[in-house]
Amino acid sequence: MPEPASLSAHAALETAPVPPHPLRADARRNREAILRAAEAEFGAHGPDVAIDDIARRAGLGVGTLYRHFPTKEDLLGALVNAHLEPMVAAAREAGRASDPGTGFFGLLRYLAAEFAAFRALADVIAASGVDLSSAKGPAHLELMTAVTDVMTRAQEAEQVRRDVSAADVTTMMGAICQSDVMAGDPTRLGRCVDLVCDALRPPRPQPVADGGSRPAGKGRRRPAGLPSDPVRPGASPAAAGAAPRR
């Protein structure tokens, strides 16, 4: 499976989850316009942006905005899920990849780019006093479940180490995506993710002199003629396993 293409914020908002009851086409357009306007306003002015400004930017009345999102917390939660839902879809697609390793590593690169872009919104949510964990809602659990399934499939195909867990991977990826140093070099994120991917791959068998192979990390064969144990200081040659002189 080719690596999932990174979705723009505009595309993510257009695929935002909708309420349980189907919306009319005009109501859905209004909802999407509000989410796009809210993301732009929060990004430009921070958590204290006025609801009136968001409605104005969306070209709608304040009453329309409140019908969709009664509180600012509801609006922020919808923005979070607007970013998470495409990630869930990408993870499920990766789980159907013909090559499990390609699907898993491609998914990691996609998620790294998306979470790095999501960081600005996460900072706004934190500054607003809203609990980000609560704002993520069920979509975050769905994402973690899908990522775990993709990783397990790659481990069963011997393309990912079996001694790591999905929690290990998300910890490493989270640290990378939240690092301040990423802002100084746009290429650093990709390099760091490549390092994580390399660390997750199983060790390759190393060739030996007789044409066979041995697992990485195993000791080299002892050349013929050498004593089996090192000579201790003060020990006689015979004690070291060498033949005494005649």
Would you place residue 9 in the very low, low, confident or very high pLDDT band (cuts 50, 70, 90)?
very low
Higher pLDDT among residues 205 and 138, named by residue: 138
Please tell me what DSSP assigns to residue 174.
H
38 three-state secondary structure:
helix
Q: Are 159 and 197 in contact (CB under 8 A)?
A: no
Reported as half-sphere exposure (CB side, CA atoms, 13 A), residue 68 has a value of 30
Please tell me what DSSP assigns to residue 131.
-
pLDDT value at position 221? Answer: 54
Checking if the pLDDT of 127 tops 90, the result is no
111 vs 114: CA distance, rounded Å: 5
The domain made up of 9-200 is a member of CATH 3.90.550.10 = no
pLDDT digits (tens, 9 = 90+) for 135-161: 777 888 899 999 999 999 999 999 999
Who's near 172: CB < 8 A, 6+ residues apart? 196
The strand pair at 213-214 and 206-207 is best described as: antiparallel
Task: List the helix and strand counts (H, then E) for the chain.
Answer: 9, 2
In the chain, domain spans: 9-200
212 vs 149: CA distance, rounded Å: 35
Q: Are 135 and 80 in contact (CB under 8 A)?
A: yes
Higher pLDDT among residues 177 and 198, named by residue: 198
Q: Are 95 and 60 in contact (CB under 8 A)?
A: no
Would you place residue 185 in the very low, low, confident or very high pLDDT band (cuts 50, 70, 90)?
confident
